[in-house]
Amino acid sequence: MAAMAIAASKYSCEVDAEHETFTSRRTKERFVEAHHLIPMQYQDKFSFSLDIPENIVALCPICHRKFHHSRFSDLKNVLSKLFVDRSEKLESREIKIELSAINEMYKGDVEED
């Protein structure tokens, strides 16, 4: 699934296609990483699998780290952009979710400065 999503992105970061990385030894393309927009830890809240290309975004390593380690306030705009880009594709696979619900998933227990 991840390889399909990465190839569909044309090996570009979906936050910003201008983000530079390096050439992957394996694919001979720009290196990007797969990330589930709706985190897999929330699978039990959905009737359909979240491990589908429509829920996987390609991110440069810096953006991927941002999703896992930044403050929510630093991630909110990026999350909104990716959600807008993906919401119709997710709905086509019977995954119905609002941006506010995704925001709550990413907020978690993180304290803001």
Which residue, 9, 16, 3, 8, is CA-closest to 66? 16
Average pLDDT over residues 68-89: 95
CA atoms lying within 13 Å on the CB side of residue 95: 28
pLDDT in tens, 48-76: 999 999 999 999 999 999 999 999 999 99
> What is the model's pTM?
0.91
pLDDT over 90 (residue 30) = yes
pLDDT over 60 (residue 98) = yes
Average pLDDT score, the chain: 94
Average pLDDT over residues 24-46: 97
Which residue, 113, 22, 112, is CA-closest to 61? 22
